[in-house]
Amino acid sequence: VNTAPGTPHRHALSVHDAVAGVLAGDRTVLGRAISLIESSRAQDQEPASELLHRVLAKTGGADRVGVTGVPGAGKSTFIERAGLMACEAGRRVAVLAVDPSSAVSGGSILGDRTRMTRLSGHPSAFIRPSPSSGALGGVARRTRETMLLCEAAGFDTVLIETVGVGQSEAAVAQMCDCFLLLAIPGAGDDLQGMKRGVLELIDAAAVNKADAGNEQKAKLAAMELAGALHVMRGDSIPVLTCSALTGAGVADVWAAVTGRIAEARASGELTRRRHRQELAWLETLVAEGLRRVIDETPAARAALALAEERVQAGTVTASAAARAVLDAVRSQLAPSSAPSRAGSMPSTNGAKP
Ligand SMILES: Nc1nc2c(ncn2[C@@H]2O[C@H](COP(=O)(O)OP(=O)(O)OP(=O)(O)O)[C@@H](O)[C@H]2O)c(=O)[nH]1
Ligand SMILES: [Mg+2]
């Protein structure tokens, strides 16, 4: 059931076969289609984009659930248990991860895979480890597109684990319908290690590890967390307790998560949320693309290097330096419309009679 990311293409998969296989729910083809969209080879970009375009109409059908929490909070254990529950209820479950750090730290996804052995052996589950390298932007793109392929292949529940500390939370929040925080009790001043930003992104929370005599402590932590969330955000979200290890309370947490998604779907809020996410995603891609234009344009790259030097030396302001870089970009894109550096009106191709 598991498929390794970035597997080299044994035989190039035609877009036609990829589309047909994915739509038919063929796992082998799905795995290879995901490898195609994960590929950074230049010749794979066009077919990958074509593939996504052709399955687009069949995407969007899943409940998209993100799970976050500090390392060791029990995210993988929870996902395995909730995923199994969903499978047993007749759902088809795909598990993905956003792990921008795995290239550096290694191992965490391998660990996840071994820990999710029961789920990965289930015929209704598909577990895809995180793309194993790349900056957050690239990893987020691949996870988002993998999610779309899984939906096109008929998976109706997608669980995404955030791995690693950093900005992966924001990236996952931007691609899911419900973002669940797993907290743990007795981490003392609990709101502690949790970044305030994460608390603003979540839609539900559960205090995990409510077992082995820690049930009461977990309940207190849940009340404290609910109170803090209410003060900070001015709204109430469900904060429950559970034990991913024993399974106690997991069904209730899962019901709260899927219940919220069902409500949002019925009210139209889900559609609005996804539209907002799509627009934010579009902006991210455009911004990243512009940045790439700079990196790929020698004149712009040189202007940026010069700007950095001057800002560092304190000889120009950052805003003036940024303007110079953008001018360099513009003059490359459309030489005739670039504003003149002397501050005069742009000439109309310099060839007026
Ligand atoms: N007592 C108890 N232990 C748990 C529970 N859930 C998870 N654990 C244990 O906590 C450890 C970490 O669990 P994981 O599920 O790997 O946690 P994670 O959040 O996925 O960790 P990373 O992916 O490394 O960030 C494991 O040893 C689990 O067995 C729980 O509900 N109760
Ligand atoms: Mg994990």
pLDDT of 258-316, one tens digit each?
A: 999 999 999 999 999 999 999 999 998 898 888 888 888 898 899 999 999 999 999 99
Main-chain phi, psi angles of 158, to 5 degrees = -120, 125
pLDDT tens digits, 168-202: 788 899 999 999 999 988 654 455 556 678 888 99
Ligand 1: atom nearest CA of 243 is: 31
- What pLDDT does 117 receive? 83
> 16-25, 108-117, 181-190, 324-333 — which one is most confidently predicted on average?
16-25
- What pLDDT does 135 receive? 59
Q: What percent of the chain has pLDDT over 70?
A: 80
Here the contacts of 212-220 (C-beta below 8 Å, separation 24 or greater) are 214/185, 214/186, 215/241, 217/185, 217/186, 218/185, 220/185
Q: Does the CB atom of residue 164 touch ligand 1 within 6 A?
A: no
Is residue 26 pLDDT above 90, yes or no? yes
- What pLDDT does 196 receive? 73
Is residue 127 pLDDT above 50, yes or no? yes
Between CA 347 and CA 83 the distance in angstroms is: 63
| Residue whose C-alpha is closest to residue 46's, from 26, 54, 11 | 54
pLDDT band of 248, cuts 50, 70, 90? very high
**Residue 208 carries which side chain, given as an amino acid letter?**
N
Q: Does the CB atom of residue 68 touch ligand 1 within 6 A?
A: no
Q: Does the CB atom of residue 79 touch ligand 1 within 6 A?
A: no
- What pLDDT does 198 receive? 87
- What pLDDT does 113 receive? 45
- What pLDDT does 342 receive? 45
Q: Is the separation of the CB atoms in 160 and 65 below 8 Å?
A: yes
Please name the residue whose Cα sits nearest to atom 14 of ligand 1. 74
Mean pLDDT of the chain: 84
Contacts of 225 (CB under 8 A, 6+ apart): 183, 190, 191, 205, 207, 239
Q: Is 221 helix (H, G, I), strand (E, B) or coil?
A: helix
The rounded Å distance from CA 237 to ligand 1 centre is 23
- What pLDDT does 202 receive? 94
- What pLDDT does 195 receive? 67
Q: Which residue would you say has higher pLDDT here, 167 or 25?
A: 25
Q: Is 240 helix (H, G, I), strand (E, B) or coil?
A: strand
pLDDT band of 98, cuts 50, 70, 90? confident
**Range from 10-19, 56-65, 93-102 carrying the lowest mean pLDDT:** 93-102
The rounded Å distance from CA 7 to ligand 2 centre is 22
pLDDT tens digits, 194-242: 667 888 899 999 999 999 999 999 999 999 999 989 988 988 899 999 9
Pocket test for ligand 1, best of 117, 169, 245, 250 (most atoms within 8 A of CB): 245
The rounded Å distance from CA 71 to ligand 1 centre is 8
pLDDT band of 348, cuts 50, 70, 90? very low
The rounded Å distance from CA 73 to ligand 1 centre is 5
- What pLDDT does 351 receive? 41
Is residue 107 pLDDT above 70, yes or no? no
Q: Does the CB atom of residue 214 touch ligand 1 within 6 A?
A: no
The stretch 62-79 carries a mean pLDDT of 92
Between CA 49 and CA 234 the distance in angstroms is: 41
Is residue 106 pLDDT above 60, yes or no? no
pLDDT band of 103, cuts 50, 70, 90? very low
Q: Does the CB atom of residue 75 touch ligand 1 within 6 A?
A: yes
Ligand at minimal distance from the CA of 74 is 1
Ligand at minimal distance from the CA of 244 is 1
Contacts of 63 (CB under 8 A, 6+ apart): 156, 157, 158, 177, 178, 257, 258, 261
The rounded Å distance from CA 263 to ligand 1 centre is 30
Take residue 94 and report the two structure tokens written for it: 């795909």
- What pLDDT does 114 receive? 47
The rounded Å distance from CA 35 to ligand 1 centre is 29
Give the count of beta carbons closer than 10 Å to the beta carbon of residue 99.
Answer: 24
Q: Does the CB atom of residue 168 touch ligand 1 within 6 A?
A: no
Please name the residue whose Cα sits nearest to atom 1 of ligand 1. 209
Q: What percent of the chain has pLDDT over 90?
A: 59
| Burial (CB count <10 Å: 0-12, 13-18, 19+), residue 83 | buried
